Amino acid sequence: MRFKLLRRRLTISAPSMKVRSAMPWPLRCAGAAVVLGFCAAIGLWAFELGKDIAGVDVASKEELSRLREEVVGLRRDRDRLQSVLNTSGSAITVERSAQERLAAQVRSLEAQNRTLREDLGFFEKLMPASGTEAVAIRGLQAEVLSGRQLKWQVLVIQPVKNAPEFRGRLELSVSGTLDGQPWLMPLPGGPQALQFRQYRRLEGMVDLPPQAVVKNVSARVLEGATSRAVQNVSL
């Protein structure tokens, strides 16, 4: 067996051998990197050349420019709409303030209208009545509020032209029932002084005792000890 192996190595049938010079592996890696870089450069050049030939790069630049212009236009539209929105908000605020002012004016005018109607009724009562009385009571009004207060109003006039000054007093009394019994109460504080030429309007509030039921209010104008006018109103 050993003889056969030795004969193969020493005769023509022995395997051929090649002698190669050994190259360090760093140089091999560097060479491979150079080759790969060269191939990549050629590939990139071919890609850019293909884009130029096909016109892709020009189209991309044009598309990018168009998109930039659209962005600028959209921003301009946004700024314009924001300005319009701000202006609309200010206009709405101004309009709301104007509506509030108008509502306040309407309420004020309604109050003035009520006052004017009351004054109209008041001056209508100043019209001279038939007769020759020197002093007269017009428009005695009374109203019980919440069952605890009495609101009253009385108008005293001299229904003649160029009437002399009248000096007297007004007495007001309230009558009804209190705890089921007859009840009469004069105006708290006593009679009110009365001095006028053509007319005089007086009004006030009277606190009522608990359980009081008002049925009648009476007003009387006195000059000295003489009664000049009397008027009653039932509730």
Q: What is the pLDDT, as a whole number, of residue 211?
A: 83
Four-residue CA torsion sign, 5, 6, 9, 13 = negative
Which CATH class, in words, describes the domain spanning 136-234?
mainly beta
User: For the chain, which residues make up each domain, given as ranges?
Assistant: 38-124, 136-234
How many whole angstroms from its chain centre is CA 86?
17
What pLDDT score was predicted for residue 1? 56
Which pLDDT score is estimated for 4? 59
> 143 with 217: CB under 8 angstroms?
no
For residue 143, what are the β-bridge partners?
151
Roughly what angle, to the nearest 10 degrees, separates helices 25-54 and 56-124? 60
| Partners of residue 212 on adjacent β-strands | 178
**104: enclosing H helix or E strand:** helix 56-124
Through-space distance between the first and last CA atoms of the chain, rounded to whole angstroms: 155
Asked whether 174 and 206 are in contact (CB, 8 A), the reply is: yes
The single-letter DSSP state of residue 151 is E
> What is the SS3 assignment for 159?
coil
Local mean pLDDT, 10-residue blocks, the chain (235 residues): 56 54 63 70 67 58 80 85 80 82 87 77 58 73 84 85 84 88 85 85 87 88 87 87
